[in-house]
Structure 1
Amino acid sequence: MTKDSKIYIAGHRGMVGSAVWRALEANGYKNLMGKTSSELDLRNQQAVTDFFNLESPDVVIDAAARVGGILANSEFPYQFLMENLQIQNNLIDAAHKSDLQKFIFLGSSCIYPKFAPQPLKEDYLLTDSLEPTNEWYAIAKIAGVKACEAIRKQYGKDFVSLMPTNLYGPHDNFDLKSSHVLPAMIRKFHEAKTTNAPVELWGSGTPMREFLHVDDLAQAVLFAVEHKLPEYLYNVGTGTDVTIKELAETIQNVVGHDGKIEWDSSKPDGTPRKLMDSSKLRALGWDSEYTLKKGVIDTYNWFTSHQEDYKKVNLS
């Protein structure tokens, strides 16, 4: 690898892809490539093949996916399964056929069984059944992990999969209908701040979750770019978790909301705990840097500075 190596970041405008772009650029990589979905439809196998034949990237980072929350997964199971399979399979296969030696595949902790022991280890993959609410997305991502493992095993190429825990940060999705818990809380507390109106949150607040700032994931990708990792699959997380109640109180404090938090215990809590074991990657030299409070401050500052743009996107 050199600073002039041609690196293609699929999904470069999303939360993860844009963070990876920033991290690589900040570390002197000068030859970064990205294509919008209108410029390159990653679901189109021929278009992806033609792109690789024309551009011949040295490294591919796959941060492209169809993503969404529980509602979107339940309403569009076929699209979540098929479109994610198409995107990743076209990229992996074209990369392999063009004799590319380094491919970094990004997934999610949802690939692990719903009732796997805590913290989640890489060895737990395919040992039990998945969480039904997002199994379509999870099955696609598992297929991508196994495809990269197969290429690594059969051809000796440096194809590696990184599985982050719950991500948040700049460019997150703050739409209350489709966002995840942390950005949704930021928006709820912010909108209730002026009147200090009560904020209603789902569940009891007792489940525990782990949260990783997207810039920490970007540093893990940079680490994988600059090193040949010895195994095919690595978890990426902070190694610590908090209750949803602690998360809410942290966000409330950062936002400056002084009203009450009302917990709707009639709503489901979900899995009691979900923590990743990231010791394998940490042992190689990577580590997370953001504390939860520091990350929430950074994300809230980004949200407030982009609020008008965000509202326009929601209305379009």
Structure 2
Amino acid sequence: MKYAVLGAGAMGLRYGILLQKLAGKTVDFVDTWEPGIEAVRRQGGVYVSRDHENRHLVPIEVYRPEEYTGNPDVWIIMLKQMQLEAVLKRCHDAGLFQDHQVVFSAMNGWGHFDHIRQYFSEDRIYGGTALVATVLNGPGDVDFIGKPGAGTMTLCSYTGDITEIERQMHDDLQQANFNPTITQDLKGTCMAKVVFNSVVNTLCTMYQIQMGQFISYPGARDVARQLIDEAYDALERDGVKLINTRDEELETVDYVSRTGNPLHYPSMYQDMIHSRPTEVDYINGYIAAVGRKHGYVCHTHEFLTHGVHLAELAHRLHETQA
């Protein structure tokens, strides 16, 4: 199958480059971030490191939506929630989406599926999660965190049916070292990652620490448990059955932070320090909104949503004063 990655940021580059390099797939990149497009074209590709070492140039092709004439079988969408609506419309207006194509997205949150459904029927939508650490150092420069094969991901159809194209994607992603697992409950799958991010991404961003530093705090598991319980209480009221139990979710937070990616600064932190808006409203804010809908107040998630926005404000003020 041929792939096109929409969003040549940290995760989009990692997925596309490894599918190209390890699975031998044809991969195009479509993006709207001008500094990234210009850097890739000037360099003839993207510089790739692993754990800050062995920086080398990998040739890729990147296009603006209006320039792209390819016809992939699978679109992989890896954008920020706040960017998605405008970028999808731009691609649609350029005539890029065809009836035979399917789409896969492992973006953080859940709201992206509402936008994707405007352009793809539910039987052509696949989602999932990615516990894969990647850093965009700058335009055309990406760092894969962790040894080859580190990290895991899930893959699930919107309808819950396991299809032949899903099996093909699974096999390609396995060859690309993403360690995929097929699940059959998309919302329960994605919400497990939202809960994970609501703990690790948010706290590491507020306190500007690495994941390993967070979990080394003696009270880290207690804080994580409080956030997990509150999130599960809200989501269960909304009829969501998460794929992990509360205890399994806590152990995932512990393992990924302590063993999987202890030196990693999560993507929310990376956004904040580069003066980009964070996705906290789509993570802790989403959980809090679900709770409010059912008359259940997620006091901790409400507080942390404001806490991250205050951290963003403090960073902007420090940048202005510097």
Q: TM exceeds 0.5?
A: no
TM-score range, shorter chain: 0.3 to 0.5
TM-score by length of 2: 0.40
For normalisation by structure 1, the TM-score amounts to 0.41
